[in-house]
């Protein structure tokens, strides 16, 4: 199932824009998918261009094995997700045109509910061999903000959130103009359409009104709710479907960036954009308990609002080591509210990050890379407007827009001289939660086209996690996924 966006709620989780909920959106997505697949290929054929990069097609057998098998099975979520991954990653360069495609599809043996399809890039552009000015049409990744990309925040570009521990960034879709000369790069984009980020599989049972999901990272909303001065009653969820074309697709966006500096030496970047939020905000109606049915009926209304985004970054790159200081501002455009709704709110947010990296050859063999980054955020979350009715003792029922308020990340990676072996570790520490994500990866190439990957992800939170969840409505995602430790493996062949 292809799903455009999901933004779970803490005590009232919600579904994404799936093909079951919006049949018309499925048709639009298939047309968009076919178009994005074919435009770079057609461009390469027209230009009789040269194919660059590694082998264009990759097949892999992949498996995710979650250690909390009993807990996941109890919630109706699989503890093992095996499947087949197909990827296409290619660039085409010709005398007049160039193009690129970077797509992945994962087909789980447990069915489409545990599968995904994502398009990171698919574009056709005028060749830089022809002119320093380049025009691009399609979906293309661009480093609008290194802070946003490195921490996977999804402020500038949409993401694929099927796997919350390995978020995939995808490019904006539209028309791009760029000019790149030594020491200066200018990029501008304009898009008449909007494609939100992809989430996982949320569905509503039309008979029971319950929300279901097969993804281990998704929070299933309660089947019962405690109302003020009342005993728990069953909950029935209903989605108020927006107009797909007017309310979602036809939302224009624009942005521009300027980067000064060469690949080595000092550099700086400034960018500004006015575009829709990549994630939906949610509202819901106050409860209504039918006299004879004695149930809580919750109508949820997704909203897409605009925001101003600003980037200011600078640093130094020597080729062996580098450092950067980065700022990212997110300024929502407030809209009118419906008084009877309880609305998820966002506020102005400012993020700052100090990062650095260093490379060296240990013992004169191979390559070792160390990377460190510190993130601090101010603002970004606000109490719900309206009158929440479910008793939680919190100021919001919705998930926090940003996963971290203050965190540090340290990683290292070693690659052997022949690139046959590669292994590394990554640790992310959340200061308010005293929580940590510890990931490891081992890669081995027995032959040129074959590769074996093994990895693990361990999650732990400190005693302050429960109090932090109470203050934010149980919305902190790290606290919610602390029972999803896992090991993963993949065997791939590149053609």
pLDDT at residue 362 greater than cutoff 70: yes
Percent with pLDDT over 70 in the chain: 76
- 421 CB-near residues (< 8 Å, 6+ apart): 414, 415, 443, 444, 445
pLDDT at residue 290 greater than cutoff 90: no
Rounded to an integer, the average pLDDT of 323-339 is 88
Q: What tens digit of pLDDT does each residue of 218-264 get?
A: 766 667 766 655 667 777 888 787 777 777 888 999 999 999 999 99
Residue 376 is predicted with a pLDDT of 96
Residue 44 is predicted with a pLDDT of 46
Residue 388 is predicted with a pLDDT of 55
- Higher-confidence position of 250 and 199: 250
Set out the domains of the chain in order of their start, with CATH numbers. 23-494 (2.40.160.10)
pLDDT at residue 318 greater than cutoff 90: yes
Among 70-79, 159-168, 172-181, 444-453, the minimum mean pLDDT is found in 70-79
Rounded to an integer, the average pLDDT of 64-72 is 71
- Higher-confidence position of 495 and 450: 450
Residue 7 is predicted with a pLDDT of 32
- Higher-confidence position of 304 and 466: 304
- Higher-confidence position of 206 and 146: 146
Residue 19 is predicted with a pLDDT of 36
DSSP 364-379: GSSEEEEEEEEEEEEE
Among 63-72, 264-273, 288-297, 302-311, the minimum mean pLDDT is found in 288-297
pLDDT at residue 21 greater than cutoff 50: no
- Higher-confidence position of 456 and 111: 456
* CA-wise closest residue to 344 among 304, 376, 379: 304
**Using CA atoms, how far apart are residues 270 and 100, in angstroms rounded to an integer?**
26
Q: Are strands 233-239 and 296-303 parallel, antiparallel or unpaired?
A: parallel
pLDDT at residue 311 greater than cutoff 80: yes
**Using CA atoms, how far apart are residues 89 and 101, in angstroms rounded to an integer?**
6
Rounded to an integer, the average pLDDT of 314-339 is 90
Distance between first and last Cα of the chain: 27
Q: What tens digit of pLDDT does each residue of 154-172 get?
A: 999 999 888 888 889 999 9
Q: How far is CA 297 from CA 111, 271, 281, 291, 300, in A?
A: 30, 44, 20, 12, 10
Residue 35's CB is within 10 A of a number of other CB atoms, namely 11
Residue 339 is predicted with a pLDDT of 67
Among 7-16, 18-27, 184-193, the minimum mean pLDDT is found in 7-16
Task: Provide the mean pLDDT of the chain.
Answer: 80
Rounded to an integer, the average pLDDT of 458-483 is 64
Residue 238 is predicted with a pLDDT of 81
pLDDT at residue 273 greater than cutoff 80: yes
Which residue is it, tokens 């060469």? 262
**Using CA atoms, how far apart are residues 7 and 200, in angstroms rounded to an integer?**
10
Q: What tens digit of pLDDT does each residue of 28-66 get?
A: 454 555 555 455 444 444 444 444 445 578 999 999 888
Q: What's the alpha-carbon Rg for the chain, to the nearest Å? A: 23
Which range, 40-54, 221-235, 356-370, 458-472, has the best average confidence (pLDDT)?
A: 356-370
Among 127-131, 203-207, 249-253, 413-417, the minimum mean pLDDT is found in 203-207
Residue 71 is predicted with a pLDDT of 54
Rounded to an integer, the average pLDDT of 313-334 is 95
Which range, 1-15, 17-31, 125-139, has the best average confidence (pLDDT)?
A: 125-139
Query: Strand, coil or helix: what is 243?
Result: coil
Q: Which residues pair with 395 in a beta bridge?
A: none
C-beta of residue 374 within 8 angstroms of C-beta of residue 355 = yes
**Using CA atoms, how far apart are residues 12 and 468, in angstroms rounded to an integer?**
18
Neighbouring C-alpha atoms within 13 Å toward the C-beta of 244: 13
pLDDT at residue 400 greater than cutoff 50: yes
pLDDT at residue 78 greater than cutoff 80: no
Q: Are strands 486-494 and 184-191 parallel, antiparallel or unpaired?
A: unpaired
pLDDT at residue 348 greater than cutoff 80: yes
Q: How far is CA 185 from CA 123, 267, 393, in A?
A: 19, 11, 50
Residue 14 is predicted with a pLDDT of 31
């Amino acid at each position: 199932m292809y799903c455009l966006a999901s933004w779970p709620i803490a005590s009232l989780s919600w579904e994404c824009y799936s093909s079951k909920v919006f049949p018309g959106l499925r048709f639009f997505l298939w047309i968009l998918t076919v178009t994005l697949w074919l435009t770079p290929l057609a461009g390469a054929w027209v230009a009789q261009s040269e194919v660059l990069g590694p082998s264009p097609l990759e097949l892999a057998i992949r498996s995710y094995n979650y250690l909390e098998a009993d807990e996941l099975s109890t919630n109706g979520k699989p503890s093992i997700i095996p499947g087949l991954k197909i990827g296409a990653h290619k660039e085409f360069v010709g005398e007049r045109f160039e193009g690129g495609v970077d797509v992945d599809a994962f087909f789980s043996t447990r069915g489409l509910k545990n599968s995904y399809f994502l398009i990171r890039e698919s574009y056709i552009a005028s060749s830089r061999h022809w002119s320093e000015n380049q025009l691009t049409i399609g979906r293309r990744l661009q480093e609008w903000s290194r802070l946003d990309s490195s921490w996977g925040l999804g402020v500038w570009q949409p993401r694929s959130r099927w796997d919350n521990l390995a978020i995939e960034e995808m490019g904006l879709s539209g028309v791009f103009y760029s000019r790149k000369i030594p020491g200066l790069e200018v990029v501008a984009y304009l898009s008449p359409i909007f494609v939100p980020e992809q989430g996982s599989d949320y569905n509503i049972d039309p008979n029971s009104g319950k929300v279901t999901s097969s993804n281990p990272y998704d929070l299933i909303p309660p089947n019962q709710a405690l109302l003020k001065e009342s005993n728990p009653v069953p909950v029935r969820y209903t989605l108020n479907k927006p107009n797909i074309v007017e309310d979602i697709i036809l939302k224009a966006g624009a942005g521009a960036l300027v980067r000064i500096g060469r690949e080595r030496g000092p550099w700086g970047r400034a960018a500004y954009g006015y575009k829709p939020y990549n994630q939906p905000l949610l509202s819901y109606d106050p409860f209504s308990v039918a006299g004879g049915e004695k149930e809580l009926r919750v109508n949820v209304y997704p909203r897409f609002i605009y925001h101003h985004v600003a980037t200011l970054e600078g640093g130094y790159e020597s080729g062996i080591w580098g450092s950067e200081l980065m700022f990212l501002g997110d300024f929502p455009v407030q809209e009118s509210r419906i008084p009877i709704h309880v609305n998820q709110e966002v506020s102005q947010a400012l993020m700052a990050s100090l990062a650095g990296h260093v490379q060296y050859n240990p013992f004169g063999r191979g390559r070792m890379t160390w990377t460190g980054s510190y993130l601090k955020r101010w603002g970004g979350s606000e109490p719900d407007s309206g009158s929440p009715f479910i008793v939680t003792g919190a100021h919001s029922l919705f998930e926090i827009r940003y996963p971290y308020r203050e965190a540090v990340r340290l990683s290292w990676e070693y690659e052997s001289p022949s690139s046959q072996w590669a292994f590394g570790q990554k640790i992310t520490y959340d200061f308010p939660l005293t929580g940590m994500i510890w990931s490891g990866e081992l890669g081995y190439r027995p032959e040129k086209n074959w590769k074996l990957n093994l990895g693990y992800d361990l999650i732990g939170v400190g005693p302050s996690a429960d109090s932090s969840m109470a203050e934010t409505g149980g919305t902190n995602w790290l606290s919610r996924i602390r029972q999803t430790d896992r090991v993963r493996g993949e065997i791939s062949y590149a053609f």
